[in-house]
Structure 1
């Protein structure tokens, strides 16, 4: 009898724990209103705090509907595994003066974070783009990123749509073991600084099955980015997939172990690009072990670029300087498609630290218009070419 009672008791406890483990926190139960006007940041934050404080697994549900949401920070550490399920549409204020920081929605110091749900993040950036004068004004106002992940570990970001961001769509800083997949990031081709995904000081990042069309880099990997795997990305319009810009300031960490495979660039300014500033640093910075493979270019202005004289705005400082970033062990394999300028591959490396061990294997790039001819240009490059090379190699 006691055995039966113990069995039944344990069974009921297991059921109770299972129910607790997957507890749902609906933002509507915290006073959220899907009326396109009410600021729902207080309701969202209360739901987060309750979900974060319990043990087990918590799901914060944003049901279908359109929710105005002001600047908000979801901070850990949390006791629970956090699942933030966005099924509706979140809208940022269009007024940039309502933002105190450089981010609209932030997740910080969370281990085991899942953000998805098929919803839409609407940055309402049209007004902000008219106020972006950063190319001319060094003291320009910093515009907010749509969604920022800071010091997040074991993150899974998936099945979302981000449109009309004021600046970047997604930023990862200080993160580890992150997966970003099934995302669609959209902003007009002439919207300034609207990078798709920007990464810095992060390791173990996987980006796959993502469609990005925006006004700046589709993906940008900055200082301290290591162990990144990018595949099945469609980029266009935009400025391509970039490493950098790097080497502008002292103390930037190295970039290492980057793989970009099976990606398509359509109508972009650049394809695969590495860019560094002409700044004299106290310590040499290294960019190494970079691999590009199975890349398709469709009417791309600059398909393959290493630019160690990067300077988007003039005057450049120091005048006549050279880059202090050393680039080595970079491979380009099975790159094919069309370019719409005169240069297929432009490898402009630093006279101070020439590029080392650059390999080109089976490259086939042709002009997208009649009467054009593509060439390759190399400067301060040490490397080798293998297989088919169209146009002729310059190394």
Structure 2
């Protein structure tokens, strides 16, 4: 009996050691606290090297890793976190990261960037403070083709099977979040905020990326809430509150040769409030050829939006385009369904397509947009082929 008890006790000990080792090596992430790498939460000293050292150790850890920025305020110069990493890695921001404001450090393309990483999670409830007011005065790109480069706050290049959630981006100097050449990437529960007059502070820009989902987020900014550029495919946007800002845009497209097709974009269950545009497709009048197709805009509320539904194939923000050239972007298979609310302009639906390549199969299904002024809302269509169904206010021009 004693031998049996001893044997059984040894077996329990072995099981305990096995479970403990499994948890240490494969289940519980190894913590890399930036405070242990020299970070100082005084809001003044540069912490970029401390962050980078913590990242390098976490990235090289053979298992799950967590790089932690604890509560407090940390200044950081531009820093790039590169992979590939040995295992899944969490970048947890509890505190506030502040971008530099000195002129010697703001004329660059990126502030916080991640590249070539699989299974990355950025979360923590903290804030990226771009301190953009210090540099917005330099952003004269609307009138100056040689305007200086200003940094995007959070850049994600070649990142796969990853997500960003429960994060705030405040007052970016340029775009808040950029996603490029990435696949299977989710963004949720983020808050993006900048004044409505802050220049080029797009909320989220997506390009050359596949299977990107944006949901349950609030975006208040000075440019597009979300912009989907060349090569964006299978993008799903839902439960987003946009405003102020320029709305959710596909494009601009077709400015240069070699741009890739954009297709399979869904925007639904979202609200736009006091934005200049609601759901917009914009292309340049240019010889560059490409296709933009299979778009669904559904179950959307507009609140005092200037251009609730718009296709603009004569996009020319600087006013120096050749009026004799038509857009060579072929737009097709676009559904607008259950879009309701108010328009602050009389033209609530504006579908201005290319003369050389008219829009094909554009469908309006149950549209109810009321002009906030005395006149009734109207719709305006040029070079559009399609159909309309259900209730139509304004009266459909298709």
The TM-score range, normalised by the shorter chain, is over 0.9
Q: Which of 328, 333, 342 is the equivalent residue of 2:332?
A: 328
Q: Which runs of 5+ in 2 are unaligned?
A: 1-5
Q: Cα deviations across residues 64-119 of structure 1 (Å, max 9, x unaligned)?
A: 00000110000000002010110000000013431463010001000000001000
Name the counterpart of 2:3: none
Residue 215 in structure 1 maps to residue 222 in structure 2: yes
SS at match of 2:255: coil
SS at match of 1:84: strand
Secondary structure of the structure 1 residue equivalent to 2:119: strand
**CA–CA distance in 2 between the matches of 1:97 and 1:358?**
49
Q: 1:309 aligns with which of 297, 314, 321?
A: 314
Output the CA distance in 2 between the equivalents of 1:215 and 1:153: 29
Does residue 290 of structure 1 match 2:261?
no
> Following the alignment from structure 1 to structure 2, what is the Cα–Cα distance between the partners of residues 68 and 100?
17
Match of 1:61 in 2: 68
Aligned position for 1:146: 153
For the pair 1:390 / 2:393, whether they are aligned, the reply is yes
Aligned to 2:369: 365
Aligned residues: 391
Q: Is the 8 A contact 1:328 1:355 kept in 2?
A: yes
Kindly report the root-mean-square deviation, in angstroms, between the aligned alpha carbons of the 2 structures.
Answer: 1.3
1:218-257 mapped onto 2 (5 Å cutoff): 218-257=225-264
Alignment partners' CA distance in 1, 2:8 and 2:153: 56
CA distance in structure 1 between the aligned counterparts of 2:285 and 2:15, rounded to whole angstroms: 68
Partner of 1:353: 357
> For the residues of structure 2 that align with 1:99 and 1:82, how far apart are their CA atoms?
28
- 1:7 Cα shift? 5.8
Residues 108 and 389 from structure 1, CA distance in 2 versus in 1: closer, same or farther, beyond 3 angstroms?
same
- The whole-number CA distance in structure 1 between the counterparts of 2:16 and 2:330 is 62
Give a deviation string over 1:252-290, Cα, whole Å, max 9, x none: 000000010001000000000000001112xx3000000
Query: Could you tell me how far 1:195 is from its partner in structure 2?
Result: 0.3
Give the match for residue 158 of structure 1: 165
Match of 1:280 among 277, 282, 287: 287
- The answer to whether the 8 A contact 2:106-2:135 is kept is no
**Structure whose CA Rg is larger:** 2
Whether 2:104 is the aligned partner of 1:102: answer no
- CA shift at 1:360, angstroms? 0.2
Q: CA deviation at 1:135?
A: 1.3
Partner of 1:115: 122
Any idea what SS the aligned residue of 1:294 has?
strand
Q: Deviations over 1:276-326 (max 9, x none)?
A: 001112xx300000000001000000000000000111212x442110100
Distance 1:29 1:56 in 2: 20
1:104·1:147 contact (CA, 8 Å) conserved in 2?
Answer: yes
TM-score by length of 2: 0.96
Range 47-56 or range 134-143, more displaced: 134-143
Q: Which residue of 2 aligns with 1:92?
A: 99
**2:206 — aligned with what?**
199
Q: Check the 8 A contact 1:53/1:78 in 2, yes or no.
A: yes
Structure 1 gaps, min length 5:
none
